[in-house]
Amino acid sequence: MSNDLEILLYVLRRKRRLALLIYVAIFNASLFGILVGSYNTGFLSDLLVFICACLLTLSLFLVTKWFLNRDLSKHPFVQIVKEKSNDVVWVYWHRTENMPFGVKVFTFNRIFICLNDSSCYHISVQANEVDLITEYCKQVFSRAVFGYSEERDQLFKINPELISKD
């Protein structure tokens, strides 16, 4: 079971590394924009410098936040696994595909974990990790019902305890 927890932590680490990569890319692009804008004169170059300075500040804030929150043991999903596994009543996954004009642009896979206090948490995973994480959840959350249906959604909204296995 600890091996499965390592897989879960790997998924969370990968997500965090991707976020850091995006923050650093914004930082570098804003630095480049400031350099380009400072060599030119005029309103547009001043506007470019201002916008890039705002992006630079935002990226510094996000990178700082990323480093301050790097302890994955405090992630809500890990906390649920360690401390509230008996409170989980429903687990399902949802795929969202963004297809403007019929062209698939993005696909988001999320696993939702719903607790008996009507709160739900989700974790974004890749398509090939859905089955792996779901199997892990089946081992850890013995009371939970797995899979989505409109009926379960309505029962959960009425009273979360109505859909648990107990």
Could you count the other beta carbons within 10 Å of the beta carbon of residue 38?
A: 13
Residues 83 and 154 in one domain: yes
> Whole domain around residue 134: which residue ranges?
78-163
Residues 86 and 127 in one domain: yes
Higher pLDDT, 9 or 148: 148
Domain closes at, from 56, 74, 92: 74
Number of domains in the chain: 2
pTM exceeds 0.75: no
pLDDT at residue 73, rounded to an integer: 66
65-101 tens-digit pLDDT = 777 666 666 667 777 777 777 788 888 888 887 777 7
- Mean of all residue pLDDT scores within the chain: 79
Residues 60 and 84 in one domain: no
14-29 tens-digit pLDDT = 777 777 788 888 888 8
Residues 86 and 33 in one domain: no
Kindly indicate the confidence band of residue 1, based on its pLDDT and cuts at 50, 70 and 90.
very low
Q: What is the C-alpha to C-alpha distance for residues 97 and 104, in angstroms, rounded to an integer?
A: 7
